[in-house]
Amino acid sequence: MSPPQAPAPLLFFNARLIDPASGCEMRGGVVTRDGIIAEVGETVREGDAPEGARAIDCAGDVVAPGLIDMQAFVGEPGAEHRETIASATLAAAAGGVTTLVSTSATLPPVDDPAVVDFVLRRARDTGRVRVLPMAALTKGCEGKEIAELGLLQQAGAIAFCDGARSVKNALVMRRALTYARDFDALVVHFAEDPDLGSGVMNEGEFAHRLGLSGVPREAEAIMLDRDMRLVALTGARYHAALVTTTLSLDALRKAKDEGLVVTCGTSINHLTLNENDIGDYRTFLKLKPPLRHEDERKALVGALSEGLIDVIVSDHDPQDVETKRLPFSEADSGAIGVETMLAAGLRLVHSGDVALMRLLAAMTSRPAEILGLPQGRLQKGAPADLVRFDPDAPFVVDPDALHSRSKNTPFDGAVLQGVVKATVVAGAVAYET
């Protein structure tokens, strides 16, 4: 079997180049060759196309590193009716995402090297963008017995998590962190006390008016406080998957000030929506953790702007009609988001709350640093994973036009700005309008 041909060279010129890794922004161009960035900068112009290259006039559009989404459910194995790797990666490419980190809570869970291999093979055969699987932290994602982290890492697992489940037992969590430390593996944990977190929306006045059971902020903060102490005890690398409250931000600030190797993410939904958006029991906005009060949302935006929050994730969680067209208390949690993550994030830029450089850093260079990836940089020699987008172009979110198999978008009918015009993965065009 002959090896696959390298993609033809590409030249993007007349572009607004943004490299969050270095903090540089300039007008110029990018040349890709053999899957890497061959040239980039102000001196790259229309006439610099190498032989056989395709030249693309960006007309002032932004060209930046492709986005890295650290939390997405890709459906396989076991939930192909909700999503497949093919559909998830097409949606990712349409949203400018070039690397998807898939969650482990599939059917069966990614707790065996054979399942890691399956995900990698399916991504190679059917995916449009890079897919890096997270493996289970505990067997079956049940929180009772730690998984074979070393073998899973050798098979290709990029990090370890139990999906949207917390490891309730502190001794099991301590052992998992100790084991992960010995392999220099990253533990990604969903911090929520499962007993306190048994409600269906944020606890408060609005939940009372809707007659729905609430999840207090303390459900997240108590588990995160415990985890910070265990990280101090073990010296492991720890990433809080989703932080949504000021209580959690306080705990993380203290941990970082003390020198612990901790990072955190939050979802684009929690940065741009609040509990009031649930309105008249809109189940597409039933999330886990739930959307919080507007004051909490503003605090998250401030923490993102200052760099306390490291990364933004889509928390892409497709659900089918049967699990969403139900009374709010009975519907499953989750929303799709990989295709709209960038455009929704640009709301924060257009409002003046977050600089474009900072927003892109939280979606590119910072997740690359945390995961130890060579992507996320618009620099010579880096992988040619790129996104071209117009940050000002408006569009209306039409669920039927989205590429995910499921249509449970919280932005149904919303007017967003930020149209992705091209996505390049390893020098090959994965999506183009």
Cα(116)–Cα(41) distance, rounded to whole angstroms?
A: 38
Kindly give the confidence (pLDDT) of every residue in the chain, 433 residues in length, as a single tens digit, with 9 standing for 90 and above: 344 577 999 999 999 999 999 999 999 999 999 999 999 999 999 888 888 999 999 999 999 999 999 999 999 999 999 999 999 999 999 999 999 999 999 999 999 999 999 999 999 999 999 999 999 999 999 999 999 999 999 999 999 999 999 999 999 999 999 999 999 999 999 999 999 999 999 999 999 999 999 999 999 999 999 999 999 999 999 999 999 999 999 999 999 999 999 999 999 999 999 999 999 999 999 999 999 999 999 999 999 999 999 999 999 999 999 999 999 999 999 999 999 999 999 999 999 999 999 999 999 999 999 999 999 999 999 999 999 999 999 999 999 999 999 999 999 999 999 999 999 999 999 999 9
The neighbouring-strand residues paired with 64 are 387
Q: Are 68 and 263 in contact (CB under 8 A)?
A: no
pLDDT at position 6 is 79
Q: Are 64 and 41 in contact (CB under 8 A)?
A: no
For 245-260, the DSSP string reads SHHHHHHHHHHHHTT-
pLDDT at position 1 is 39
pLDDT at position 49 is 84
List, by residue number, the catalytic residues. Answer: 315
Q: Are 383 and 425 in contact (CB under 8 A)?
A: no
Cα(400)–Cα(345) distance, rounded to whole angstroms?
A: 21
Q: CA quadruple 20, 22, 26, 30: dihedral positive or negative?
A: negative
pLDDT at position 4 is 59
**What backbone phi and psi angles, to 5 degrees, belong to 55?**
-100, 130
Q: For residue 108, what are the CA distances in angstroms to 5, 89, 103, 161, 167?
A: 35, 21, 12, 14, 18
pLDDT at position 2 is 44
Residue of 61, 5, 19 whose CA lies nearest to 375: 19
Q: For residue 412, what are the CA distances in angstroms to 243, 270, 408, 416?
A: 24, 16, 8, 11
With H, G, I as helix, E, B as strand and everything else as coil, classify residue 52: coil
297-318: burial string, b at 16+ Cβ within 10 Å, e else: bebbbebbbeebbbbbbbbbbb
Question: Does the bond joining 289 to the residue before it have cis omega, within 30 degrees of 0?
Answer: yes
With H, G, I as helix, E, B as strand and everything else as coil, classify residue 149: helix
**What backbone phi and psi angles, to 5 degrees, belong to 110?**
-85, 70
Cα(77)–Cα(74) distance, rounded to whole angstroms?
A: 8
Please name the residues in contact with 4: beta carbons below 8 A apart, sequence gap of 6 or more: none
Burial class (CB in 10 A: 0-12, 13-18, 19+), 410: buried
Number of other CB atoms surrounding residue 343 within 10 Å: 25
Q: Give residue 313's region: left, alpha or beta (phi > 0; psi -120 to 50).
A: beta
